[in-house]
Structure 1
Amino acid sequence: MKRTKTVIILIAIVALFGISLFYLWQKNQEDPITYTLESPTVETIIVKTVATGSIVPKEEVLIKPNISGVIEEIFIEAGEYVKQGDLIAQIKVIPNASTLTSAKNSIATNQTALQTAKINLQTQQSNYDRQKALFEKGVISANDFEGVNNSYLQTKQSVEQARINVNSANQNYDIIKTGTTSGLGSIAQTQVRATVSGMVLDVPVKAGNQVIEANNFNEGTSIASIADVKQMIFEGKVDESEVGKIKEGLPLEITVGAIENKQFEAVLDYIAPKGVAENGAVQFEIKGTLKKIDSTFIRAGLSANASIILNKAEKVLAIKEALVQYDEETKKPFVEVAIGDQKFERKDLELGISDGILVEVKSGISITDKIKVWNQLQGVPDYAQ
């Protein structure tokens, strides 16, 4: 029994030894790994972040009336160029009955005051003429005549003031009823004129629409919006994870989806000091002024993307970032450079900026070196091909 167990154990050992020899033989028959090589290149590396937004005018002016009423006629259309002072719209005033009645009563009151003042003036005129004749004959003294003269002048001034009040009441009545009056000339309130020169971007009202004047209690109805379309800016938003990387003065590269094969230069002018939560992330508003757009018409409101240039290195020695290895202990970067047929030598590197694909090499290798692709795929499964 013991002899049988011994024989079985010996057979198992011999079989295991044979399998090991066969495995080693088969392993020696496999082709050795052949590493491919890549060379450094001269590249321009740009590190940037992207913000989405739109193109809007730098300054957009809303034209609003200074009197309430109904639009009688509009003289402009969106897309037209206007100059400062050009007529935009005509307003027809619809007077308030209560205000109109109050204005009429004011006229009547002031006319009554004027008539009273005129009667007083006639009385003072007669007294003045009589006292003047007595003074010339030496019947009354100079002091007495001076008092009469002063009373006459005061009454005369009262008549002039009453006449002014009547004219003012009449003008106020005309303004309430028609929106204008004699003497206003080019500043007639029923005429709405452009306050700046530029292109009309929008006319949100039509003839027949009611409009409200701009005052301390109401911002008023916008009749038109005007802007200089040669001065445009990019307005967009960046994520809180990127806002710490940017600063005012950085260059922007603007691409507009509706304008193909065209890129616009801009400068970052503004970064919001306060973020706004949107869709679970905090966004910060940014603005950048576009430069040199005289030959291209950009419509206000077009969607655009802005590439914010964080760093840039032009015509530098670069390699793919995937070629870089890192020492397990020191964490310093290095590559393996070919020194013969599938023989490699380690060379430590000093790296610069990286865009995630290419990395700048400041020192360690030359452009003629051949670098080992150390992480190449050894085999691709059938389902992945």
Structure 2
Amino acid sequence: MNKYVKYVLIAVLVIAALWAAVFFIKSNSKSVITYETQKPFISSIEKKTVATGKVIPEDEVEIKPQISGIIEKIYLEEGAEVKAGDLIAKIKIVPNEQALNSARGRVRNAEIALNNITIEYNRNKSLFDKGVISSQDFNNLQLQIDQAKQELSNAQADYQIIRKGSAGGSASANTNIRATVAGTILEIPVEEGDQVIQSNNFNDGTTIASIADLTKMIFEGKVDEGEVGKLKVGIPLKISLGAIEGQELDAKLKFIAPKGLEETGAVQFRIEGDVETKDDVFIRAGYSANASIVLEKKDDILVISEALLQFDKKTNKPYVEVAVGAESEQKFERRDIEVGISDGVNIEIVSGLTEEDNIKQWNKTEPIKKGEEEGEEGGEAADEDE
């Protein structure tokens, strides 16, 4: 029994010695990490921001009726091109019974008054012809009969307007809804049989159709308060549409809102830009869009990759490590630098570096060996099985 234990201990010691030897050999065979370097270079940097919004018509006109009634017929559809004066729809008049009865009574009163003054006029005319009454008295009677005729005409016209929609009876002036501008019909929110209300001082009225010129579009979006101060009216915009891939439209900023609105804790300012449309690109009203705005641009400046920067933990000032001596020596010294604008990839070097400097690349990583990669995959599979 003692011999068996002795042999086991010897075997364990031999295995441990072999494992230590293998570990020592592997540890010493690892290659020394060699840091790569990069040189500063001359380039251009644009500092941009993106405003989200939509593309809408510059002017959108809503067509409203001049009289209340029911939609009798709709002649055009949404998307149709129209000219000013084109017939869009027709309204059937449904008169108010109270107003109709009042207008009818006014006509009857005017007729009675005219008949009465006519009798008086005829009686006094014979007296005037015989010289019994003066011409002034007769002229007063002539004025009264003319006024009575005019009152009857007005009452009859009002009655016809309430009953049929116009004094002439054709109803073409009020019941025929026509386009007031040229453009494209964007929307017809009513259907045949719907009741509509006229536009007046107390009510906007029912919208029969909305028309806009789709060749004159604007971008409407919002920018953050931290960037609105860098914008100026007239700067160029690049508009990309969410519905049309690979297409960019040129635009020019024309308006910056003087007042911001708070949204989700941040103050946003509305901006507008005139969009230059293309003949081969059909833009629908309301397309979502992004506007790329160049806030600052510098050409032919010394730049480095922003990934090379480091920041002092105490002062938070930027610095890099520059190679000194031969490249094989892998010796670096700290170099404080002054930086300018950045586009998120490259950053401007104002001072502290030249084009001849070799900057230490800190994000160097060793490649994963095939055996280690397979081991990691096996470990992940084992975890999933568990």
For Structure 1 versus Structure 2, the TM-score category normalised by the shorter chain is 0.7 to 0.9
Given that residues 217 and 277 in structure 2 are in contact (C-alpha distance below 8 angstroms), is that contact kept between their aligned partners in structure 1? no
Offset of 1:43 from its aligned partner? 3.6
Show the counterpart of 1:298.
283
* Aligned ranges 1:60-209 → 2 under 5 Å: 60-131=60-131, 148-182=134-168, 188-209=173-194
User: Counterpart amino acid of 1:128?
Assistant: F
* Secondary structure, counterpart of 1:45 in structure 2: strand
* Secondary structure, counterpart of 1:269 in structure 2: strand
Provide Cα deviations, 1:155-178, integer angstroms capped at 9, x if missing partner: 112211211111111111111111
Structure 1 distance, partners of 2:163, 2:284, is 42
User: Counterpart amino acid of 1:259?
Assistant: I
Structure 2 distance, partners of 1:330, 1:227, is 58
Provide Cα deviations, 1:239-291, integer angstroms capped at 9, x if missing partner: 45554554544432211111110111223333444444545555443332212
Structure 1 distance, partners of 2:27, 2:193, is 93
Are 1:359 and 2:344 an aligned pair?
A: no
Structure 2 distance, partners of 1:124, 1:368, is 120
Offset of 1:104 from its aligned partner? 0.5
Residues 115 and 323 (structure 1), Cα distance of their counterparts in 2 relative to 1, 3 Å cut: same
Offset of 1:152 from its aligned partner? 1.4
Pick the aligned partner of 2:272 from 287, 294, 319: 287
Structure 2 distance, partners of 1:73, 1:305, is 41
* Secondary structure, counterpart of 2:130 in structure 1: helix
Provide Cα deviations, 1:61-104, integer angstroms capped at 9, x if missing partner: 11000100011111211111111122111111011111111111
* Secondary structure, counterpart of 1:353 in structure 2: strand
Uncovered stretches (5+) of structure 2, i.e. residues with no partner: 1-25, 381-386
* Aligned ranges 1:206-285 → 2 under 5 Å: 206-240=191-225, 242-243=227-228, 246-279=231-264, 281-285=266-270
TM-score by length of structure 1 reads: 0.79
Pick the aligned partner of 1:318 from 287, 291, 303: 303
How many positions carry a matched residue from both structures? 345
Given that residues 165 and 171 in structure 2 are in contact (C-alpha distance below 8 angstroms), is that contact kept between their aligned partners in structure 1? no
TM-score by length of structure 2 reads: 0.78
Structure 1 distance, partners of 2:136, 2:296, is 86
Provide Cα deviations, 1:39-66, integer angstroms capped at 9, x if missing partner: 3344432222223222111111110001
Uncovered stretches (5+) of structure 1, i.e. residues with no partner: 1-25, 135-144
Given that residues 250 and 310 in structure 1 are in contact (C-alpha distance below 8 angstroms), is that contact kept between their aligned partners in structure 2? no
Given that residues 274 and 284 in structure 1 are in contact (C-alpha distance below 8 angstroms), is that contact kept between their aligned partners in structure 2? yes
Q: Give me the CA root mean square deviation.
A: 3.2
Provide Cα deviations, 1:170-221, integer angstroms capped at 9, x if missing partner: 11111111112229886x1111111111111011111111111011121111
Show the counterpart of 1:371.
359
Offset of 1:322 from its aligned partner? 1.9
* Secondary structure, counterpart of 1:303 in structure 2: strand
Residues 162 and 315 (structure 1), Cα distance of their counterparts in 2 relative to 1, 3 Å cut: farther
